Copies of this chain bind each other. A is one copy, B any other.
Amino acid sequence: MLTFEDFQPGHFATLGPRHVTREEIISFAAEYDPQPMHLDEEAGRLSLAGGLSGSGWHMCALAMRMQVDGIIGRADSLSGLGVDEVKWLAPLRPGDDLTLEVHVDEARVSKSRPETGIVRVRAEMFNASGEKLMTIVSNGLFRRRAPAQA
């Protein structure tokens, strides 16, 4: 099990590839973000994205799944705390194969819960052409290996 101590600042992991289908894009959008450009080819063509595009929140959810599969599922993770930033830089497209580059920006012991530490992670999502689609900076709470002996 990964604990707080395993998250040192620097590049942490490359996750994926994760293939995304047109059906998934439309299914997520129908449930959570039913804007025409996420549901319909023609509306997508007329939108800024110039074609059917996935919801930005779908990209966030996919990044989370990739991190659970690759990191959090084998870590002593207590909770997500929040997000410092999401930037949607380019559209998610049907058929994309997504890669996630995960970097630890900062790791610090929690003041209020010294048996835990807060890890700030920067995840960058790329498509198969190497185009950066999104960055997410988020904070998670992990258990420390050795309890604090105050």
A residues whose Cβ falls under 8 Å from a Cβ of B: 28, 31-35, 47-49, 55-57, 60-62, 64-65, 68, 72-73, 77-88, 141
The residue in A77, A81, A82 that gathers the most chain B C-beta atoms within 10 A of its C-beta is A82
Q: So how many copies of this chain end up in the complex?
A: 2
Partner of A81, one of B60, B62, B82, B88: B88
Q: Given the complex, which residues of B lie within 8 Å of A35, measured CB to CB? A: 68, 72-73, 77
Interchain residue pairs A-B with the least CB separation, the first 9:
A83-B86, A32-B61, A82-B87, A32-B65, A56-B80, A48-B79, A57-B64, A33-B64, A57-B61
A-B contact list, 18 entries, CB within 8 Å: A28-B61, A32-B61, A32-B65, A33-B61, A33-B64, A33-B65, A33-B68, A34-B65, A34-B73, A35-B68, A56-B80, A57-B61, A60-B60, A80-B88, A83-B86, A84-B85, A85-B85, A86-B86
Cα distance, A28 to B68, chains bound together (Å) = 14
Chain B, residue nearest A66 (CB): B32
Cα distance, A47 to B72, chains bound together (Å) = 14
